[in-house]
Amino acid sequence: MKKQQFQHSALPYFLIAPQLLIILIFFVWPALQSVQLSLYLEDPWGLSSTFVGLDNYTDALSSDYYHQSALFTLIFSSAVTFFSLALALLLAVKADKVIHAQTSYKILLIWPYAVAPAVAGLIGIFLFDSHVGPLYHLLNQLWAFDHKLDPTDATLALILMSVWKQISINFVYFLAGLQSIPRAVKEAAAIDCQSSFKRFWSIDFPLLAPTTFFLLVINITYAFFETFGIIDTLTRGAPGGETTSLVYKVYRDGFIGADLGGSSAQSVILMVFVMALTVVQFRFIERKIHY
Segment 209 to 238, residues that bind another protein, using CB under 8 A: 214, 218, 225, 228-229, 232-233, 236
**Which residues within the stretch 132-191 sit at the binding site for another protein (CB under 8 A)?**
132-134, 137, 164, 167-169, 172-173, 176, 183, 186-187, 190
- Which of 255, 256, 257, 283 contacts another protein by CB under 8 A? 255
125: left (phi over 0), alpha (psi -120 to 50) or beta: alpha
Nearest distance, CB of residue 65 and another protein, angstroms = 18
Does 195 interact with another protein (rule: CB under 8 A)? no
Does 125 interact with another protein (rule: CB under 8 A)? yes
- Which of 67, 94, 198, 283 contacts another protein by CB under 8 A? 94
Element (H, E) at 84: helix 64-97
> Number of residues in contact with another protein, rule: CB under 8 A?
104
Q: What is the largest CA-CA distance in the chain?
A: 76
- Which of 61, 122, 193, 207 contacts another protein by CB under 8 A? 122
Interatomic CA distance for residues 280 and 261, integer angstroms: 29
**Which residues within the stretch 47-86 sit at the binding site for another protein (CB under 8 A)?**
none
In the shown chain, the binding pattern of residues 99 to 118 toward another protein, with x for contact by CB under 8 A and - for none, equals x-----xxxxxxxxxxxxxx
Cβ-count burial of 19 within 10 angstroms (0-12 exposed, 13-18 middle, 19+ buried)? exposed
Does 291 interact with another protein (rule: CB under 8 A)? yes
Cβ-count burial of 234 within 10 angstroms (0-12 exposed, 13-18 middle, 19+ buried)? buried
With contact defined as beta carbons under 8 Å apart, do 173 and 214 qualify? yes
